[in-house]
Amino acid sequence: MIKQSRPSQDGSRKVTFALPGNHLAGTISVVGTFNDWTPGVHVLRRRSNGTISTTITVPAGSDVRFRYLGENGVWFDDPDADALSHEGGLVRVS
User: pLDDT at residue 15 above 70?
Assistant: yes
- Which residues is 4 bridged to in the sheet? 15
CA nearest to 52, candidates 14, 90, 5, 17? 17
| Residue 55 contacts residue 63 (beta carbons within 8 Å) | no
Provide the CATH number for the domain around residue 9: 2.60.40.10
Q: What digits encode the pLDDT tens for the residues 61-91?
A: 999 999 999 988 999 999 999 999 988 999 9
CA 54/CA 47 separation, integer angstroms: 10
CA 39/CA 28 separation, integer angstroms: 9
Q: What digits encode the pLDDT tens for the residues 32-45?
A: 999 999 999 999 99
Per the structure, the count of domains in the chain is 1
Q: Which amino acid is located at 87 in the chain?
A: E
What's the mean pLDDT in 30-58?
94
Cα separations (Å) of 28 from 8, 10, 85, 94? 28, 30, 20, 26
Identify the domain containing residue 16 by its residue range.
Answer: 2-92
Can you give the pLDDT at residue 59? 94
Can you give the pLDDT at residue 5? 92
